Copies of this chain bind each other. A is one copy, B any other.
Amino acid sequence: MKIGKTTVPASAICTSDDETIVVRGEDLCRDLIGKLGFVDYFFLLVTGQRPSAMASRVLDATLVAIAEHGLVPSVQASRMTLAAAPDALQGAVAAGILGCGSVILGASETAGRLFARIDALASERELALDVAAEEGVRELRAAGQAIPGYGHPLHKARDPRVARLFEVAAEAGTPGRFVAIAEAVERVLPGITGRELRLNVSAAIPAVLLDVGFPLEALKGVPILARTAGLIGHLVEELAQPIGFALSYQATRELRYTGPLPAGWTPKD
């Protein structure tokens, strides 16, 4: 039995022989190692092109902005996993990455899609950004979807990373089109939702990255790569100072059981 597609697979990323490894058309050992920085290499891997100085600076800043924010749920999941399976660091990293979903870090991608839609609406129909933003947001809500990238449980004012990322983007000389779109969304949201929801880092990241030509389809990869660095930091700490099981204990200190009990049984203290 044969499974899958009968086509011959092809890839444009890497080839090699026993002396040379070619990545995206460049000789890895001669042209890249020690010559191109890892962040620029990430851009090259994803897009097939080296980044401009502007794109390099902005991508680097977004990776630093999103790599670490304390013991968020995915970090807790990762540290608990390492506590239970200390021999398999890769498993604990994987568990942490699995929490980079639509609700948390995946908002970078969905916010990016909203901005790209607003950009298209504004361009095609020559709309002012606020008008296009209002239409884009209303479309999303009509489809029953949440507005990604606005509001934060901790940072009620604008997330401080937003201002800093916009500052870096301005310093780097980005065109600022998608930052303007992100701010237009922030302006129209109260009129639509009745709530003051300020730009958070998950909206700022696609705004500055789309302004430097980073592909929409790869946006979700940025928080994943960044968080991998953060997770490794936490896991190295976990190996030295384990708290995975302590977190688990704390989490259940006040846990209530709401199901039925066997007849006549009550738990001992």
Query: Which residue numbers of A lie inside 8 Å of B, CB to CB?
Result: 1-34, 36-39, 41-42, 45-46, 48, 57, 60-61, 63-65, 67-74, 76-78, 80-81, 83-95, 97-106, 153-157, 160-161, 163-165, 167-168, 171, 215, 217-218, 220-221, 224-226, 228-230, 232-237, 239-241, 243-262, 265, 267-269
A29 / chain B contacts, CB cutoff of 8 Å: 160-161, 163-164
A92 / chain B contacts, CB cutoff of 8 Å: 98
A255 contacts B11, CB within 8 Å?
yes
How many copies altogether? Answer: 4
A262 contacts B10, CB within 8 Å?
no
Contacts A15-B257, A250-B254 hold; do A85 and B106 have CB atoms under 8 A apart?
Answer: yes
Contacts A99-B84, A232-B46, A245-B73 hold; do A2 and B34 have CB atoms under 8 A apart?
Answer: no
B249 contacts A5, CB within 8 Å?
yes
| Cα(A81)–Cα(B36), bound, Å | 30
A45 contacts B67, CB within 8 Å?
yes
Q: How far is the CB of A99 from chain B (nearest CB, A)?
A: 4
Q: How far is the CB of A220 from chain B (nearest CB, A)?
A: 5
B77 contacts A60, CB within 8 Å?
no
| Cα(A128)–Cα(B139), bound, Å | 34
For the A-B complex with A14-B257, A18-B157 known, give 14 more contacts whose Cβ atoms are closer than 8 Å.
A6-B249, A9-B246, A9-B247, A10-B241, A10-B257, A21-B70, A25-B259, A25-B260, A34-B164, A38-B38, A73-B245, A88-B90, A94-B98, A217-B239
A168 contacts B250, CB within 8 Å?
no
Q: How far is the CB of A36 from chain B (nearest CB, A)?
A: 6
A218 / chain B contacts, CB cutoff of 8 Å: 232, 236
B101 contacts A3, CB within 8 Å?
no
A7 / chain B contacts, CB cutoff of 8 Å: 243, 246, 249
**Pick from B88, B160, B221: contact of A236, CB under 8 Å:** B221
**Pick from B6, B57, B63, B259: contact of A12, CB under 8 Å:** B259
